Amino acid sequence: MSGSLIKFESMPHESMSIDDPAVFHQLLRALRCSPERWTEVLRCAESTNSLSGCYGRLEERCKSLEGQCEVLMRLVRHVCCSANINFSKITIDEYSDDSQVNLEQIVTGLGGDYVNAFPVTPGKTIRMQHPSRPGWTPNQIRIDMNLAGGANNYLDFFVEFYLGPGDDLPGKKIGPTFRGNQFLNKDGGQIIVPFPKYKNDPIDVGSLERLAVEITNRSGGVNLESAQVVIVYDNNRFYEMCRTEVCKPGCKPDCNGSTCGR
């Protein structure tokens, strides 16, 4: 039998303090672990606590997302209910190729300084609106005026727009009070004017609302024989936003027009 010595490292016993550096290193040698690797082990424990916190926050966000999805599904079911649809797809399709709305329906019976038909004499006002139609978003204003005797004093004609129920209830005034020369040059050339915004956002005309225009003659003696007020809007965007492919039979809320019903 060989007389060589075998190195033996015992584990620290109760009488030894783990706070003693010598005892601590003896313990690491017994576990065959370097101080650097032990530091990594401690970091893993800290990472586990951090991951547990992240998981908790992720779980809360998932619950919030589920609630939002449920709200959206309720909205989809509401939109797809026939009783909640203001206009059918057929009606919406009829407007899909028309990029302008004419304010040509004269509102009559208002009394006072309002006239029921052209011409508009000095000191008088005419109100015009569009017929009932699906909601839309105006982009531009285009106006033509025909003044008696070939006059071109467009500056004397005041133009105001209103959004509301329509007829004898014009609603809220939209934008500033325009003057005729903001829409027409002296030679009659048309000037395209952007439609006013509200709080820097485009203004939507709801399906239950009417956009109306009032033109007041403030000239000294020139009649407004006729006027054309055209409001331009993006009909392609209108159609894309208003079509209801999701409500087709066999169509799930996450499908599009090319896969619905297939």
Q: Is residue 161 part of a domain?
A: yes
Q: Is residue 40 part of a domain?
A: no
Q: Which CATH number belongs to the domain containing residue 189 in this structure?
A: 2.60.120
The β-bridge partners of 121 are none
pLDDT at position 219: 97
Q: Which residues of the chain have pLDDT under 50?
A: 6, 8, 253-262
pLDDT at position 229: 98
- Provide the token pair at 123: 């000191």
- Domain enclosing residue 193, as ranges: 100-239
Q: Report the number of distinct structural domains present in the chain.
A: 1
- Which ranges of the chain does DSSP label H, i.e. alpha helix? 21-30, 35-80, 89-95, 235-242
Alpha-carbon distance of 48 to 237, in angstroms, equals 50
pLDDT at position 87: 79
The β-bridge partners of 173 are 162
> Of 123, 200, 219, 211, nearest to 165 (Cα)?
211
Q: Is residue 104 part of a domain?
A: yes
Whole-angstrom distance between the N-terminal and C-terminal Cα of the chain? 87
Q: Which helix (H) or strand (E) holds 216?
A: strand 210-217
Q: Is residue 109 part of a domain?
A: yes
pLDDT at position 245: 60
**Residue-wise pLDDT tens digits, 198-237:** 999 999 998 899 999 999 999 999 999 999 999 999 877 7
Write the DSSP symbol of residue 137: -
